[in-house]
């Protein structure tokens, strides 16, 4: 039901991670959608496959056709990510949740709903505020990126409460 696409051979463990992630999502959503998982081994490959959804700090993402683009375990190691195998498996499950969700809903939903569901099912728990602030500062992420990033496009700027992390 899922196909794994990679420019290099992938190990048995990666296939097993994908199968387990799919089974976890399938048991939650009770559907069996078809999509591909594209494993990228370089920044250029990730950028090419991600198209206009590309952001340099992402470990993976879902395209509108529900295909998943994800960085390989080796690429995550080269980027200096700790626990790269765990990052790979949790990201794969997280992105797979998005793919399943969009297979059911068939429309783009509010980011908080989609991300909340994906974090819940993939067990990607958030960092404590102190660690989150440190991480965002180390990556030079502008806090406004996290502030309801789709609202201004739809209804114009409005005063919204910012996360307390930056105060």
Cα–Cα distance for residue pair 68/92, rounded to 1 Å: 8
CA distance 60 to 129: 23
- Dihedral (CA of 126, 131, 136, 139) sign: negative
| pLDDT value of position 125 | 62
Q: What backbone torsions phi and psi does residue 36 show, to the nearest 5 degrees? A: -110, 150
pTM of the model: 0.73
pLDDT tens digits for the chain (167 residues)? 789 999 999 989 999 999 999 999 999 999 999 999 999 999 999 999 999 899 888 899 999 899 999 999 999 989 888 778 888 888 999 999 999 999 988 776 788 788 888 888 887 765 666 676 777 778 777 655 555 444 444 433 434 334 444 43
Contact 36, 7 (CB under 8 A): no
Question: Exposed, middle or buried: residue 58 (CB in 10 Å: 0-12, 13-18, 19+)?
Answer: middle
pLDDT of residue 50: 95
* Dist CA 102 CA 106 (whole Å): 5
């Amino acid at each position: 039901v899922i196909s794994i696409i990679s420019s290099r051979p992938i190990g048995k463990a990666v296939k097993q991670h994908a199968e387990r992630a799919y089974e976890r999502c399938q048991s939650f959503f009770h559907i069996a959608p078809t999509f591909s998982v594209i494993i990228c081994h370089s920044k250029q490959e990730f950028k090419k496959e991600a198209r206009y959804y590309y952001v340099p700090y992402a470990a993976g993402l879902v395209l509108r056709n529900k295909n998943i683009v994800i960085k390989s375990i080796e690429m995550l190691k080269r980027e200096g990510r700790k626990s790269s195998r765990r990052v790979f498996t949790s990201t794969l499950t997280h992105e797979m949740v998005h793919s399943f969700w969009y297979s059911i809903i068939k429309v783009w939903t509010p980011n908080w709903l989609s991300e909340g569901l994906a974090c819940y099912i993939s067990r990607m728990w958030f960092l404590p505020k102190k660690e989150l602030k440190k991480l965002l500062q180390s990556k030079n992420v502008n806090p406004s990126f996290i502030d309801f990033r789709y609202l201004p496009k739809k209804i114009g700027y409005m005063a919204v409460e910012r996360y307390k992390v930056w105060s």
